[in-house]
Every structure is written in C-alpha cells, then in structure tokens.
Copies of this chain bind each other. A is one copy, B any other.
Amino acid sequence: MVGNTRKKTDLNPNNSVDCVIFGFDFEQIKVLLIDRGQNLGNSKNLRALPGNLIYEEEDLDEAAYRVLEELTGIKDIYLEQVGAFGNPNRVNKESDREWLKSIRDEPNARVITAAYYSLVKIDDFVPRAHSFAKKAEWIPLSEIEELAFDHFEILQVAKEKLKQKIKIQPIGFNLLPEKFTLSQLHKLYECIFEKPLDKRNFRRKIQKLNILTNLKEKQRGVPHKPSQLYKFNEENYQLLTQNGYDNFGF
C-alpha cells in the first residue's frame, strides 16, 4: 500500500479524486463501486465511486492511483482524467454529510474532485475492499440509478468520454481477453455505444481496418457452435495510426 506513512492531517481537505473503472463480462459493462457500509436508519446506503481526499504534496494522477489501490486493492492499470467536478453542493446530500462527519477532519469543507476513468478486463481484477470501503464490487452499469455525492453525474460524463475515445482509438480491446470472437467484440461495442450495431457492417469495418489476427483456432467448451477466435493485431494498428488514421467508430 502506498503512502501509509502519511498522516490524516497531511490530507488536503479541499480536493479529492474519484475513479470510474469500467469492466466487461461478455454480457454487459460493469462499474467498480464501493459500499461504505452506512447504517443510517431509513436513509439509503448509497454506493460510491472509489475516491478520497488527496495529500497536500501529491499530484492528482498519483492520488488517483493511490486511492484506487487503498480502497479496492486494484493497481497497475492506466487511469485517464475525466475532468474536474466542483458544484458547490456536491457533498451536501444528507446521507453523505453524515458519513463525512464520521470520517473527515473538516467534514464541512467544500471539496472539488478530479475524476479519472479506466477500462479493464474484469477477470484480471478481483477487488478487495480496504479502508473505509466495506465492500468493493462490480455492479452492472444498467442497474446503477443513484450514487453518493455527484458520482452518478461523474459516471455519466465518464461514459461519454469512453464513447468518444473508442471512436478514435480501439481501446475496447482492453476489456476483452487476449482471444475473443467477433460476436464478443460486437457485443462490447454495442454495450459501450448503448445501441444495436448492424452485425454485417461491423464485421466489414473490422475486416477493412485489418487490426485483428485470425488465430485459426475455435472456442472450446461452449454450449453453441464454436466460433473463430481472434486477437488484436497491435502491429497493424501501429501502422494505421502512424499514418494518422483514427476512425475506429462503428
């Protein structure tokens, strides 16, 4: 664990980081959320994005990696910034205020947060809750209706960034295992764009891009006719982008 020699008083009371980690399980997009284990009578125990205050001497990027690891055990991933969120009322929900009182030295301070996001292969990262996170779990994006603080808004903005990003860089491969089928890739893009994509056009475009290698190998142990397996062709992708190509939308 990073930064465990730092004291609570070294925290910057006004600035935090929050992380939106997207994963894919072949069926749907999931998001890594923490449960702060609140027990507040009738008020909802809202889940939250993994996030916390930064340290005084800490860079924002550095803080994002540290906080994610401290709360969920997840490290060695690439985080990209979503942006700053600074609505003056962003920490004013009753249940959030209660929780802040139980945990922060200056629970009434205004906090501006820098949000980060990442895409990971869900199987590579088994979250383990630490610190004030009582649970850290992959929750289906479609089931998330409300979150602590302004985290639901942050999630929406991160989702938009992801949609834009995947059109100019084939980052979707980060969400798949090394070997995958065209159907799995197609399903992933449908999940990210939140709309059906014509299967034939999708396959035609992928073929034209020439960024997949046919592994001449089929799926095993599946309850349906096994499909052809592919892997991402990093070399061809580099050649494409060296020539300035950046249209990976479907």
A positions within 8 Å CB-CB of B? 12, 14-15, 54, 56-60, 81-88, 110, 112, 114, 164, 167-168, 195, 244, 246-247, 249
> In the assembly, what is the distance between CA of A195 and CA of B242, in Å?
13
Whether A167 pairs with B246 at a CB distance below 8 angstroms is yes
Contact of A88 among B14, B57, B82, B247 (CB under 8 A): B57
Contact yes or no, B112 A60, CB < 8 A: yes
Q: Which of B58, B60, B246 contacts A84 (CB 8 A)?
A: B60
> Which of B59, B83, B168, B247 meets A83, CB within 8 Å?
B83
**Contact partner, A114, options B54, B86, B110, Cβ 8 Å:** B86
Check if B54 sits within 8 Å of A86, measured CB to CB. Answer: yes
Distance from A206 Cβ to chain B, minimum over Cβ atoms (Å): 16
For the complex, what is the distance from the CA of A112 to the CA of B246, rounded to whole Å?
32
Shortest Cβ distance from residue A240 to the other chain B in the assembled complex, whole angstroms: 13
Question: Please, which residue of chain B has its CB at the minimum distance from the CB of A15?
Answer: B112
Q: A84–B15 Cα gap in the complex (Å)?
A: 11
A112 & B110 in contact (Cβ 8 Å cutoff) = no
Q: Are A249 and B246 in contact (CB under 8 A)?
A: yes
> Taking the nearest CB of chain B, how far is it from the CB of A196, in angstroms?
11
With the chains together, A84 CA to B168 CA distance in Å?
Answer: 22
* A59 x B84 contact (CB < 8 A): no
Question: Could you write out 28 A-B pairs with CB less than 8 Å apart?
Answer: A12-B14, A12-B110, A14-B15, A15-B86, A15-B112, A56-B88, A56-B110, A57-B88, A58-B88, A59-B86, A59-B88, A60-B84, A60-B86, A60-B87, A60-B112, A81-B83, A82-B83, A83-B83, A83-B114, A84-B114, A112-B112, A112-B114, A164-B164, A167-B168, A167-B247, A195-B244, A246-B249, A247-B249
Cα distance A164–B169 in the bound complex, in angstroms: 11
Among all A-B residue pairs, the 6 with the closest Cβ atoms: A84-B84, A60-B86, A84-B114, A14-B14, A81-B83, A83-B83
Contact partners of A247 in chain B: CB under 8 A: 167, 247, 249
Bound Cα distance from A247 to B87, whole angstroms: 33
A12: chain B residues at CB < 8 Å are 14, 110
CA of A52 to CA of B22, assembled, Å: 35
Q: Which of A60, A84, A244, A249 has the most CB of B within 10 A?
A: A84
Question: Chain B residues with Cβ under 8 A from A14's Cβ?
Answer: 12, 14-15
The smallest C-beta distance from A116 to any residue of chain B, in angstroms, reads 10
